[in-house]
Structure 1
Amino acid sequence: MSEPTTQPQDAAVDPAPSAPASAVTADPAAVLTDRAAALDSADPLRAVRDRFALVPDEVYLDGNSLGPPTTQVMDRLSDVVGREWGRLGIRSWDGSGWWTAPERIGDRVGALVGAAPGQVVVGDSTSVNVFKALVAAVRMAPDGRDEILVDAATFPTDGYIAESAARMTGCTIRAVAAEEIGAAAGERTAVALVNHVDYRSGRLNDLPSVTAALHAAGALAVWDLCHSAGALPVALDGDGVDLAVGCTYKYLNGGPGSPAYLYVRRDLQPRFDSPLPGWNSHADPFGMAPAYAPADGALRGRVGTPEILSLLALDTALDAWDGVDVADVRAKSLALTDFFLESVTALVPPGRVETVTPLPHAERGSQVSLRCANSGEVMRTLTERGVIGDHRSPDVLRFGFTPLYTRFADALRAARVLADVLEGTP
């Protein structure tokens, strides 16, 4: 196995000037400690960390799976349960804004993924929204287009849903590497489902170029933003994306099982024919008509009664973004992952890990994946020692770097503990 390389390529951020070679040779850990302190001191996002309820003396690098709660969420949920539900009861659908929460909170999510208001609705799970988006895309496709392309490295559920959607719509399905999807699209392609960031490797796929290539072939693009929303800039409107989905419990910190979101580009909304028409997306939801008539706009993405407790927890979690520039988030993400990789190279015994995540910034999300032997046992030991990441079979350690609360000192501690664990692991 090769030693991880950490020299940034196509760097957007230079985290700090390198220390003299003699100093690194003498005591690399001390040099890295000084650099981490300097970087944390200069971090424009350092105060945002106080908005999160973090476990003391723990390095939480699993926000790419489940983000921690914000400090305000418990008070908000207590008020929702005790007052809005407990005292106002059904009156809260109007009086507390419950009924309009899916689109109101959808607009807040939309602001983080480059979507103007009126195009994002929050509700259901990512899997359900993938199904809606794919079937609706096939229904919008011209006659004769009966192929669905799917990212070959996609999260398994996306693949399962795509296969089911293909069976139900009479389409064939073809798995293609994400970087080859644009070239693979042809005259029979109706839609392609692509992950913006690969969940296992952390590879960032080229959303603008793939979308443009799909459009040139006459196909629609559905993007899964689960591992990019809240971690890096996304420009759904600017890049002409047709439909997009994503979860809210990772980098958006909405809580376990918090509802997902669905983006439908404004000009496509009149043609969006949901395969799950529910009373919440009816033009007259309380008319209880036997025939379905879809509402206008992004409301067509709704199905049933909104998940109010989870929705309002997410609403409060999004307050952590007040005053935060996504460009600063991306700059810190790249600097953090560069610094972690540099620390791993300096401290981990040579040959014990191999970097899976791409090194060029243009190809990297906000996680670092390392391949190593006995990765499951290694991650269990890391967790016992207060460094929380996760393991993906068969041999990948994943470390997610959420810039809103992760410090450079955390990245260094994680590399140090990893080095110690690997020193004592066969």
Structure 2
Amino acid sequence: MPPLKTRERLSEVRYEIRGELARRARELEGQGRTLIKLNIGNPGAFGFRAPEHLQRAIADHIHDTDPYTHQQGLPEAREAIAAHHRRRGTPNASPERVFIGNGVSELIDISLRALLNPDDEVLLPSPDYPLWSAATILNDGRPVFYRCNPENGFLPDPDEIESLVSARTRAIVLINPNNPTGAVYPRALLERIVAVAEKHRLLLMVDEIYDGVLYGDAKFEPLAPLAGNLPCLSFSGLSKVHRACGWRVGWAVLSGDPTACGDFHHAMDLLGALRLCANVPGQFAIEAALDGGDTIGPLCASGGRLFEARRAVIESCEASESLRLVAPAGALYAFPGVAGAAAEGFDDHAFALEMLETEDVLIVPGSSFNVPYRNHFRVTLLPEPALLREVFHRIDRVLQRHAGRARSPGEVSRAAVA
């Protein structure tokens, strides 16, 4: 038989977080190699557990989890989410405007499918979390990237965002706190982006899955209260702040003028109904998560494991002649850049493959996050601090080899004599 043809637009989709390098890592593990895998922000893989009171909430209701529930989610879970957003100041936050999904990933796909017609445009950050651009493409839209450059602390320029708006633009996407850079957006910046969306009548879509993962004096500003009556879709879930990735529990809250949002609300409801409902057991943990005690704050404070892991990465980059880092203010990642002699002729994908083959370390090339440059890479902050220091020792060892090859023979000779 001739080979089955696949959808042509899949050729435009990239997701290197679980792509070619991850497949090669599985091959090496099959050969008996022990790898340090820093490609995915998966707390459970690094010894973190979902809080006990969330586990207990599911266990106590397991006898209620056999039937389908409403396509938008359990009523009591949606009420807990709506109440959480009302405490934040989200306008028109009600259970009817909450959608629970199998993780934020499913809800991103559903929301873009509800919004886009062929060739509609979505403004996305560069770097982005590549699911956003992939979902835009696979729902027949076109991603248009606005820059979040390292020299600006990975923060976007609202004037550039506005310059990219066209007659086909439908939405502006924000990721705050940011994956992969760890940037946390200040209120004044968010207000300027809201003004652009209001001027051009665009939907705001904000991925706030890391809203409680903050370091130092960083402050999270939810977007919906700033958006007011402007249509805004806010995404969050249990995966990161509550360390329950495998439960696949995410939610989206639609805020703003109910009249303006009515058709979009019905479209999301229809698409949710077509997949019947989201995972039911995990939904019983939502109320416990949002109304229980803070379990992420101590991990992010000085002496906490995530704080100290971040410190290990920052200090390792400061000690390296070849690395530059905008210190992450939030989220679970760092996005170092390669500089100096090691950056000459540097290719991030080749470097990631070399790290895997020669140093048993799996990282993600920066270009996988839709940036035009090829001198960055992403690591997760989830390992123990000592392990991260060892990882960066190996990274620096490889970069020193790159820097040595970049120097002229005379420079290498003089360095050896010195």
TM-score by length of 2: 0.57
The reply to whether residue 270 of structure 1 matches residue 262 of structure 2 is yes
* Cα distance change of structure 1 residues 229 and 330 upon mapping to structure 2, 3 Å threshold: same
Q: 1:156 to 1:421 in 2, by over 3 A?
A: closer
Q: Closer, same or farther in 2 for the Cα pair 1:61/1:165, shift >3 Å? A: closer
Query: Which of 364, 383, 387 lines up with 1:392 in the alignment?
Result: 364
1:263 partner letter: V
Distance 2:310 2:301 in 1: 11
**2:414 alignment counterpart:** none
Is the Cα–Cα contact under 8 Å of residues 190 and 223 in structure 2 kept in the other structure? no
Distance 2:328 2:104 in 1: 29
Give the letter for the 2:104 counterpart: T
* Pair 194,235 (structure 1): closer, same or farther in 2 beyond 3 Å: closer
| TM-score (normalised: structure 1) | 0.56
Distance across 2 between alignment mates of 1:340 and 1:138: 43
Query: How far does the alpha carbon of each residue in 1:61-81 deviate from its partner, in whole angstroms, 9 at most, with x for none?
Result: 999444532234444443333
Task: Show the counterpart of 1:344.
Answer: 316
1:207-218 equivalence runs, <5 A:
207-218=190-201
Secondary structure at the aligned position of 1:251 is classed as coil
Give the Å deviation of 1:264.
0.5
2:15 match: none
Distance 1:132 1:193 in 2: 15
SS in 2 for 1:238: helix
* Corresponding residue number in structure 2 for 1:236: 223
Contact residue 112 and residue 230 of structure 1 kept, 8 A: no
Tell me, yes or no, if the aligned pair for 1:102 and 1:306 is still in contact at 8 Å.
no
For residue 147 of structure 1, report the CA deviation from its aligned partner: 4.1
Letter of the structure 1 residue corresponding to residue 100 of structure 2: V
The match for 1:174 among 144, 151, 173 is: 144
Q: How large is the Cα RMSD of the aligned pairs?
A: 4.6
Q: Corresponding residue for 1:130?
A: 108
Q: For residues 262 and 76 of structure 1, what CA distance do their matches in structure 2 show?
A: 21
Q: How far off is 1:272 after superposition?
A: 2.9
| Residues 292-320 of structure 1, C-alpha deviations (whole Å, 9 max, x = no match) | xxxxxxxxxx962342112224554546x
State the partner residue of 2:335: 369
Look up the match of 2:246: 256
Alpha-carbon shift at residue 159 of structure 1 (Å): 1.2
Q: Are positions 1:161 and 2:135 aligned together?
A: yes
Of Structure 1 and Structure 2, the greater helix share is in 2
Deviations 1:59-100 (A, max 9, x none): 99999444532234444443333x445xxx66x979xxx841
Which amino acid in structure 1 is aligned with residue 241 of structure 2? Y
> Is the CA contact (8 Å cut-off) linking 1:114 and 1:236 kept in structure 2?
no
Partner of 1:106: 81
> Shift in Å at residue 392 of structure 1?
0.9
One-letter amino acid of the structure 2 residue matched with residue 252 of structure 1: H
| SS of corresponding position for 2:240 | coil
Asked whether the 8 Å contact 1:189–1:219 carries over to 2, the reply is yes
1:15-414 equivalences under 5 Å are 64-66=41-43, 68=48, 69-81=50-62, 83-85=63-65, 99-107=74-82, 110=85, 115=90, 117-118=93-94, 119-134=97-112, 136-137=114-115, 147-166=121-140, 174-177=144-147, 179=156, 180-186=160-166, 188-205=168-185, 206-228=189-211, 230-231=213-214, 233-240=220-227, 242-268=232-258, 269-278=261-270, 304-318=276-290, 322=293, 339-345=311-317, 348=319, 350-355=320-325, 358-359=326-327, 365=331, 367-371=333-337, 374-375=351-352, 391-393=363-365, 396-400=377-381, 411=385, 413-414=386-387
CA–CA separation in structure 1 for the residues paired with 2:206 and 2:79: 22
Distance 1:62 1:312, change over 3 A: farther
SS state of the match for residue 194, structure 2? Answer: helix
Residue identity matched to 1:305: C
Tell me, in whole angstroms, the C-alpha distance in 1 between the residues paired with 2:173 and 2:246.
25
Higher relative contact order (CA closer than 8 Å, sequence separation 6+): 1
Tell me if the contact between 1:391 and 1:398 (Cα under 8 Å) persists in the aligned partners: yes
Residue 278 of structure 1: how far off its partner (Å): 3.9
**What secondary structure is seen at the aligned counterpart in 2 of 1:304?**
coil
Q: CA deviation at 1:265?
A: 0.5
In structure 1, what is the Cα distance between the partners aligned to 2:204 and 2:81?
Answer: 20
Aligned pairs, number? 310
- CA distance in 2 between counterparts of 1:371 and 1:249 reads 27
CA offset digits 1:239-282 (Å, max 9, x no partner): 1161222443122323315122112004234343443544977x
The alpha-carbon distance between structure 1 residues 265 and 218, as it changes in their structure 2 partners (threshold 3 A), is same
